[in-house]
A and B are shown apart, each in its own frame.
Chain A
C-alpha cells in the first residue's frame, strides 16, 4: 500500500531555479520524511518533520507540513544539476513503526 502521493510526477527546471514538490497522505501521522533516490541507487534520507512542526529547514531544503490538509511540500532552492533525482515522501502509520512511501517526483535539473 502507498500512503503518500507526490505531485507532480515529473518536474524539469533550469539550474538556479527553485523546485517545489508536494505530498498528500491519508491517515494521521507521527512524522513525515523526505528521501532522495539517484537512478539505480538506494534511498537517502533528507529531512524529517514531526506532526507538531509546521516548517523545517536543512541547507537548501525547506519542508512544510499542514496536518489539517494532510499535505507536505519540499522546496529545493537554487537547484543544481546534481539535484537531479527522484524524491519520495514517507509517512508512518500511527505506532506501527513502518514507513509507507509515495510514488515519487522525478526531478530533472538542466545545467
Chain B
C-alpha cells in the first residue's frame, strides 16, 4: 500500500498476556518510529529505528517492551506481561531520514490496545 499500515487496529487482552503489534512502513523509508498515545495526550516517543538497528530506544518505559525490525522494513512492537497501564493507542511512523534534520513523519492509523 501507499501508506503506513498497522495491525491489528484493535487489540483487547487480559492483564499478564503477551502482545505483538505490527507496523509496515512506506516502502523505501529507512527510519521507523513507535509512539504511544494516551487519551488527550500527545504521542510519547518509544523507539526509533534507522534501518535494522534501534538508533534510540530511550523512550521504552521498561524491559517489558521490546521492538524489532529484522530486515529494515516491517517492525514489531512486543509487550510482555501486559498491565492495565499499557492501554493506549500505539502509533507507528516512517520517514526518509535526512542526515542533519529529521524529516516529515508519515503515521499509520494506530493500534488501540486495551488491557483488561
Decide whether A and B are members of one complex. Answer: yes
B109 touches A41 (CB 8 A): yes
CA distance A48 to B107 in the complex (A): 15
Residues of A contacting B107 in the complex (Cβ-Cβ under 8 angstroms): 35, 42-44
Q: Can you name the residue of chain B whose Cβ is closest to the Cβ of A98? A: B48
Instruction: Point out residues on A near B: beta carbons under 8 Å.
Output: 1-2, 4, 30-31, 33, 35, 41-45, 48, 50, 88, 90, 92, 95-104
Q: Using a Cβ–Cβ cut-off of 8 Å, how many residues does chain B contribute to the interface with A?
A: 28
Residues of B contacting A103 in the complex (Cβ-Cβ under 8 angstroms): 41-42
A-B contact count (CB 8 A): 73
By Cβ-Cβ distance, the 9 closest A-B pairs, closest first, are A42-B107, A101-B42, A92-B102, A98-B48, A43-B107, A45-B104, A103-B42, A101-B43, A30-B101
Residues of B contacting A4 in the complex (Cβ-Cβ under 8 angstroms): 42
Instruction: Point out residues on B near A: beta carbons under 8 Å.
Output: 4, 31, 33, 35, 41-45, 48, 50, 55-56, 59, 91, 93, 97, 100-110
B44 touches A2 (CB 8 A): yes
Contact of A99 among B45, B106, B109 (CB under 8 A): B45
A99 touches B101 (CB 8 A): no
A98 touches B42 (CB 8 A): no
Contact of B105 among A1, A2, A45, A104 (CB under 8 A): A45
A50 touches B42 (CB 8 A): no
B56 touches A48 (CB 8 A): no
Knowing A2-B44, A104-B42 are in contact, say whether A99-B102 is a contact too (CB < 8 A): yes
4 extra A-B contacts, CB within 8 A, seeds A92-B101, A97-B102, A101-B43: A33-B105, A97-B48, A97-B55, A98-B102
